[in-house]
Amino acid sequence: MRLVIVTGMSGAGKSSALKMLEDAGYFCVDNLPIQLIYKLVQLTANGTENFDKVALGVDIRSGQALEELDEVLEQMKSDGFSYEILFLDSSTEVLVKRYKETRRNHPLSGSGRVEQGIELEREKLGFIKKNADVIIDTSRLLIRELKAQIDKIYVNNEKYNNFYITVLSFGFKYGIPMDSDLVFDVRFLPNPFYDPILKPQTGNDTPVRDFVMNSKEAGIFLDKLEDMLTFLIPNYIVEGKNQLVISIGCTGGKHRSVTLANELTYRLKKLEYGLKVEHRDIEKDAKK
């Protein structure tokens, strides 16, 4: 039997993940009292019905009993029941935004600020996250992207790396992305903006891509950046970091930064980390 403990921060997508697992054929139970988890595992593993895939949702709603989870999991392990822990995480900024949009109260905030409840929850769930087999940060994930990750790990049984990279193109005139970890300025490259034919196109179009990459400096920049990231990422992982936002900016975020973000994403695929590219400002000039 494959047993997945689904947990994580409130608002990070635990309920959505459980629904996805249910759709994939898992027998799912959410918010089961901690004291009953072991009994349910015994029943599903040894009962007359065939439960070959089970997912249990555990979160901060368990209250003080959550502290007993460690003991329950240790007992399961010693009795030969294997399990995996999936931890859904998200940045505090994104969680606050989600709570404000839904007008819900955080389970630990009471009459106080949502941020305080989130940080308290992060502290209480720290021991679970530390022992998690898979950590998915949903700060920048769309529902379909989360489903793709869930299917990859728990349906297709593919290898998953807890480190997730977002390569983000942007325009400096619209501001540097606040969630950037690393920011690179590619305004030193020739600008397609001044070519009447290329101006209305973007870095996703072959003529613009060729124009930018025909610059010797573009290739040198990518070589040096790739080399630096190959060095940095393993060291970030050792220090406990599980996501990295690499922002690449040009003036308007439409030509050079888009091209370089695409090219860097292509190069990073060989590192086998979670990876996606976003173009924040690619359409902004077109709307004017």
Q: Are 219 and 131 within one domain? A: no
Q: Which pLDDT tens digit goes with each residue over 80-126?
A: 899 999 999 998 989 999 988 877 788 887 767 888 899 999 999 99
How many domains does the chain fold into? 2
Considering the domain boundaries, does residue 278 fall inside one?
yes
**Is residue 178 domain-shared with residue 126, that is, in the same domain?**
no
DSSP, res 49: S
For residue 30, the cross-strand partners are: 57
Per-residue tokens: 262:
């695409």
Please give the residue range of the domain that contains residue 51. Answer: 2-154
Residues 37 and 143 in one domain: yes
Same domain, residue pair 132 and 238: no
- Do 115 and 196 reside in the same domain of the chain? no
**The pairing of beta strand 84-89 with beta strand 53-57:** unpaired
CA distance 248 to 27: 43
Domain assignment present for 104: yes
Considering the domain boundaries, does residue 245 fall inside one?
A: yes
Residue 239 lies in a domain: yes
- Cβ contacts of residue 39 below 8 Å, gap of 6+? none
In this structure, are strands 2-8 and 53-57 parallel, antiparallel, or unpaired? parallel
Closest C-alpha among 19, 85, 3 to residue 52: 3
181 within some domain: yes
Q: What is the mean pLDDT of the chain?
A: 90
Helices (H), the chain: 14-23, 34-46, 69-78, 92-102, 114-124, 126-130, 143-154, 206-213, 216-238, 256-268
Say yes or no: 14 and 79 in one domain.
yes
* Whether 238 and 217 share a structural domain: yes
Residue 230 placed within a domain: yes
Domain with residue 71: its CATH number is 3.40.50.300
Question: What pLDDT does residue 110 have?
Answer: 72
Does residue 14 belong to any structural domain of this protein?
yes
Residue type, 49: E
Q: Are 143 and 7 found together in one domain?
A: yes
pLDDT digits (tens, 9 = 90+) for 112-163: 788 889 999 999 999 899 889 899 999 888 899 899 889 989 998 877 777 8
Buried/exposed code over 161-193 (b: 16+ C-beta within 10 A; e: otherwise)? ebbbbbbbbbbbeeeebeebeeebebeebebbb
Burial class (CB in 10 A: 0-12, 13-18, 19+), 13: buried
Specify whether 128 is located in the same domain as 191: no
Question: Does residue 75 fall inside a structural domain?
Answer: yes
Q: Cα Rg for the chain, rounded, in angstroms? A: 22
Q: Is the domain of 135 the same as that of 198?
A: no
Same domain flag for 73 and 207: no
pLDDT digit string, tens, across residues 12-68: 999 999 999 999 999 999 988 898 998 998 888 876 566 889 999 998 888 778 888
